[in-house]
């Protein structure tokens, strides 16, 4: 019987030194494990004390965070986690929407971080229709007050107004990292016209 109790306690995650301590105490409660000889009666076991002792040992070895929760506690914890995750998800959606809108603006290269630090994100929200509200007003004011940060890509023409030269040698074109045969053929036709 003591062996069975030891296996049950191991299955419940009780540490071996606690099981050994309990085994000594249980031996006193239930007596020696040897079978009675002859006409001897098996020792009488106080089942209530035995169950209480086992429950105490399991309770001591189970950390508080692993103790079973009541249904109300489970529901409350689930609602808390759900609310927390929904809030995080809304923050991510808002941040991504803001980033997309900022990318559409003609902010000079290297100044996107500066512009984003000048925006009061607490005033930017989604309305009932799911539209971003509060950002356009702020960026309009910034584009007037801090005009030096805006207008980055207007009039940008790295080739001096000319189209970049087209590679006509297919062997050289194929060695390029982003080679696309269809585009090569189209560019070749345009260059021949």
- Structural domain contains residue 12: yes
Q: Are residues 108 and 172 in the same domain?
A: no
The answer to whether residues 114 and 184 belong to one domain is no
- Asked whether residue 156 is domain-assigned, the answer is no
**pLDDT, tens digit, 9 for 90 and up, residues 24-51:** 776 666 665 455 555 666 556 666 777 7
∠ CA(9), CA(14), CA(15), 5° rounding? Answer: 125
Convert the pLDDT of each residue in 157-189 to its tens digit.
Answer: 555 556 666 677 778 878 888 878 888 788 777
**How many whole angstroms separate alpha carbon 65 and alpha carbon 32?**
36
Q: Looking at the structure, do residues 114 and 81 belong to the same domain, yes or no?
A: yes
Q: pLDDT tens-digit profile of 134-143?
A: 999 999 998 8
Q: Quick: pLDDT tens for 78-94.
A: 899 999 999 999 999 98
The parent domain of residue 180 ranges over 163-193
What pLDDT is attached to residue 123?
92
Last residue of a domain, one of 66, 87, 115: 66
In a domain, 6, yes or no: yes
Residue 126 sits in the same domain as residue 89: yes
Inside any domain, residue 84: yes
Residue 157 lies in a domain: no
């Amino acid at each position: 019987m003591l062996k069975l109790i030891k296996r049950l306690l191991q299955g419940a995650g009780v540490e071996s030194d606690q099981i050994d301590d309990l085994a000594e105490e249980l031996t006193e409660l239930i007596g020696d494990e040897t079978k009675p000889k002859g006409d001897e009666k098996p020792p009488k076991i106080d089942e209530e004390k035995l169950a209480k002792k086992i429950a105490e040992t399991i309770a001591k070895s189970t950390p508080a965070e692993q103790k079973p929760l009541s249904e109300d506690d489970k529901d409350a914890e689930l609602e808390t986690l759900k609310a927390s995750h929904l809030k995080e998800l809304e923050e991510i959606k808002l941040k991504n929407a803001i980033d997309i809108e900022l990318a559409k603006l003609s902010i000079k290269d290297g100044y996107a971080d500066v512009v984003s630090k000048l925006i009061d994100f607490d005033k930017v929200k989604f309305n009932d229709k799911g539209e971003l509200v509060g950002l356009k007003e702020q960026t309009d004011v910034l584009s007037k007050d801090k005009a030096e940060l805006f207008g980055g890509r207007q009039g940008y023409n790295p080739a001096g107004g000319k189209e970049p030269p087209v590679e006509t040698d297919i062997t050289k074109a194929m060695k390029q990292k982003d080679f696309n045969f269809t585009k090569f053929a189209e560019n070749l036709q345009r260059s021949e016209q």
